[in-house]
A = this chain, B = another copy of it.
Amino acid sequence: MHPSIKVAIIEDDHDIRQLMQLIVDGSPGFFCKQVYEGCKTGVPALIEDPVDVVLMDIDMPEMSGIDGVAWLKEELPKVNVIMLTVHEDNEAVFDSLCAGAVGYLVKGLPPVDLLRAIEEAHQGGSPMSPAIARKVVRSFQPQVATDPLSGRETEILKLLCDGENYKTIATSLFISTNTVKAHIKNIYEKLQVHTRAEAVGKALKQRLVK
């Protein structure tokens, strides 16, 4: 069998901390190696003595869990961090993932599910509460523009995102640069922007193109 999964907990609430430790330590195959009440002490300690999976609370005084992950991952890129939260705040989810978390769970999960999540994270998965996963997946889907772009316009917008200019777009689409200009002008109108960079930024952020 595999050796026990080494787990660490960073959580400011005393009761929750103790409860989670009990769950983890009371289960075969899991071993709660370290427990901290904040990132200030926890992160340096984990850097010294790494574990497999870290359960990190999001809302903590002093330093947020998001900053904590960023710090920790900078030193230990391979550690698997699962974020824990009470409210599924949109911003926090994406900020956490960007900072390097591999999972995101809402608190109050049944012990079995928590353990399964830890195991999944350890084996290269990304445990997420259903609603969180849906948010993440939905973020891939294109936002419908209020004033939708025509086929040609989308095509040109994609080329703009690759940094192409009037001339190269014109030759690759077999049209004149003047036509390209006209299309781009229409794109600006529809996207409500005035420069290439802004158009590209909006296009990629709103996933109008991939």
Give the Cβ gap from A138 to chain B, nearest Cβ, in Å.
Answer: 8
Are A94's CB and B131's CB within 8 A?
no
Copies of this chain, count: 2
Assess whether A140 is interfacial by the CB under 8 Å rule: yes
Encoded as 1 (CB less than 8 Å from any B CB) or 0, chain A from 172 to 210 comes to: 000000000000000000000111111111101101001
Most chain B CB within a 10 A radius of its CB, from A97, A125, A162, A201 = A201
Kindly name the residue among A103, A130, A142 whose own CB sees the greatest number of chain B CB atoms within 10 A: A130
Q: How far is the CA of A123 from the CA of B131 in the complex (A)?
A: 9
A128 close to B124 (CB less than 8 A):
no
* Minimum C-beta distance from A77 to chain B (A): 9
Complex Cα distance, B199 from A161, in Å, reads 9
Within residues 119 to 167 of chain A, which ones have a CB less than 8 A from any CB in chain B? 120, 123-131, 133-134, 136-138, 140-142, 160-163, 165
A100 at the B interface (CB under 8 A): yes
Q: Please give, as numbers and ranges, the residues of chain B lying within 8 Å of A51 by CB-CB distance.
A: none
A163, B207: Cβ atoms closer than 8 Å: no
Set of chain B residues within 8 Å of A131, measured between Cβ atoms: 124-125
Interface size on A, residues (CB 8 A): 45
Q: Which residue of B lies closest to A194 (CB)?
A: B163
Select from chain B the residue with minimum beta-carbon distance to A102.
B137
Minimum C-beta distance from A66 to chain B (A): 12
Cross-chain contact A98 with B142 (CB below 8 angstroms) = yes
Minimum CB–CB distance from A76 to chain B (whole Å) comes to: 14
**Known A98-B207, A197-B197; further 7 A-B contacts with Cβ < 8 A:** A98-B210, A124-B130, A124-B134, A126-B128, A126-B130, A126-B133, A127-B133
Q: What are 23 A-B contacts with C-beta separation under 8 Å?
A: A97-B140, A98-B142, A98-B207, A101-B137, A123-B130, A124-B134, A125-B129, A125-B133, A126-B128, A126-B136, A127-B133, A133-B133, A136-B140, A160-B197, A161-B205, A163-B193, A163-B194, A163-B195, A163-B197, A163-B199, A163-B201, A165-B195, A197-B199
